[in-house]
Chains A and B, each alone.
Chain A
């Protein structure tokens, strides 16, 4: 591990973008801007920009509060108000933040919403969340019902259904709130910028197919998704950020460099992993360290796809502005059925030459966690690559047991190592063993190309001394 801590221009730029957005929000009223609260999956950022409204993303506030060690207090506040311990901790963190003055993670107050835009219904809790916010702010709600990809495909009928809702529900409500007319030319321009950023973003994600990978597609990836998943898709600044990021990764790749971590450049790449599920935000640094200390790099993750599966070919298309938004809403990772999610992770394991895949199951999110063990076993069966399973939570620090998680991650990585070394180790041992296969003794290769180790000699019995 190179201890020299390095900050690259893209990191500075990303931080500035996000911070500026919070500052912009704190001044929204003074600037006469309208504010819409909405969610990351299926966000309609370009459409909002066409109406010149600013988005507030409660999940982002919650995760930022988690990273800044503020979430425990907010959650406690919400629990005092009667929200159960089992409720999604993003919700409680947001509710608690609202109850204590709605001061955003950067310390600047957030404006109240002019409209609650529920643009994604794949998470049932989102609906309840906005019911609570509607009660508090007494503001209008625009609800877009997004059909689930139950059959694993988006049909033309499904797209037409969503487009119809955009025309009859979302756009009219945005027009009413802002007093502006829907401006399709403006929307198309934004969508073109989105596609450009998406190209660069996908290039960055794909760079992890190299050995060593120049990026960590999970711990680094969550920073990369920041602009494109929030307020900066379809903006010049957003496109500029991804162009900068891509140049840096190109350089790192050319230099054969491993990913950057908070403690400098990562050491030798020993394990390539695919990760499913969001990270724990309250102990994000500690969690990340458990990986890079062991030489484990995440080469692909599903969490970085909750705001769109660009790497699987989706691009916002300015030629079909409303249709593309509809397809985007339906195509997010969270809207995929279990077979599609399973197939996607399987594909990642193969495409990125992963040594293993790890599930971080979120305690307070049933809609994400349900079925994960079944997926895990199925992927193991299909790929022969070992899966690992850990549990923590989004922003409730009480659910993160550091010693326990570290123990499991270490055990998991050692398991991968043991499987990898198993063949050679047992071969050496078996050289003098009668248990060795006959073919092996005759110097013939095993039928399976030597992948299955022969049975080792019996050892370790508590033999009485003779």
Chain B
């Protein structure tokens, strides 16, 4: 099968899509963007490849025995186990690197104890990952998971001799090191062990069936015919100019593919906001971007989350509980902390302040949309911020106030819009 890859190197995450020659999506992958864009691109593409392989495996499974409940369960369990295998492989390597770092840290008189302490934390993380009580699906972002688990365990594991900061220092070095490596996380590399593990709960017959399906999936070659890159980091990749497209074009094309009647697209990403007008073919007819100031972009929310010691995904739901919105006019990211503390001092509630901040942020986008030519039917909202319920609520209200009834499309997959557009450009090259 011929595959066409689109990669969107965002400032926060890197997304990849593999499509077939008809533009049908075979697989998707996402990872944290890191200092090394090439790795981020490779990892997200590998993830997309894995998803594509799983799709093929599933097809083989269905062809073998038709749709049935057992197959569905088998497939889900296999996918889960595969993720776990990948996760364990990364965790083991991370532990190795961290232990090596403790040896390098010779200034510690308690070297032996230090090494043991770090090793203990990792073995606890491994035990938890393999526990039947572990979450059904590990996060796609190994880094985020590892940080949150390690830091929790490091708080408990720190004492007067080995501080929390010392432990985190070792972890930070190890995580930077592992992100610079190419671990084998491929379908080929982990599928067989995953099948064996699944066999323990589903029996030998099921395992044999899965093996046959996996072989069938692997028998079909998946060649990458063309790759197109877009996004913030696109210039950093060693690709010729012909393989690079502006994210404006890719978002326009991607939004059109998701919602063919889209005429206006708003994308709020980590550090830029784009208002795009497209024609009936997804061809961009005009666009506006925020200029030298990134106020009101995703980073603004990230900063507020840090100030409130919340996860960024917690902001929207909290703001959504507001009963009395506070009016906020500034969306300056730098001043956001001061604004927040000031309001809290005045006795205003966190959720009300947050609701005000979300509205202020969306108001800035409204200005950009107006500059690009307004909101036409249909209107598609994409980017990481489209996952935030409070931002979406504010946007719906403001669109209705300013433009009346408009169909507003928001896809749960909207984070892939740019990569999808890029993959479709790859199909056409």
Contact = CB atoms under 8 A, between A and B. Distances in A.
Interface of A: 373, 377, 380, 386-387, 389, 391, 399, 401, 404, 407-408, 410-412, 414-415, 418-419, 422, 425-426, 429, 453, 455-463, 465-466
Interface in B99-146: none
Nearest to A410: B246
B35 interface: no
Residue among B246, B371, B420 with max Cβ neighbours from chain A (10 Å): B246
A418 B228 CA distance: 15
A138 to B, nearest CB: 40
Interface residues of B, number: 41
A461 B258 contact: yes
Given A460-B258, A465-B58, A411 B24 contact: no
Given A418-B284, A425-B428, A411 B249 contact: yes
B283 A419 contact: yes
Given A410-B246, A460-B23, A466-B59, A415 B284 contact: yes
B180 interface: no
A415 B249 contact: yes
Contacts of B413: 462
Given A391-B291, A460-B420, A462-B413, A373 B371 contact: yes
A233 B69 CA distance: 88
A205 to B, nearest CB: 28
Contacts of B22: 457, 459
Interface string B231-244: 00000000000000
B281 interface: yes
Interface string B56-69: 10110010000000
Contacts of A422: 281, 283
A462 B25 CA distance: 6
B157 interface: no
B297 interface: no
A407 to B, nearest CB: 7
Given A373-B371, A422-B283, A455-B280, A414 B246 contact: yes
B230 to A, nearest CB: 10
B245 interface: yes
Interface in B213-272: 245-249, 254, 257-258, 260
B98 to A, nearest CB: 36
A174 B257 CA distance: 69
Contact of B260 (A373, A387, A415, A458): A458
A461 B249 contact: no
Nearest to A389: B288
Given A419-B283, A465-B55, A401 B249 contact: no
A419 B62 CA distance: 43
B76 to A, nearest CB: 13
Contacts of A412: 287
B424 interface: yes
B282 A429 contact: no
Given A453-B281, A462-B25, A466-B59, A380 B286 contact: yes
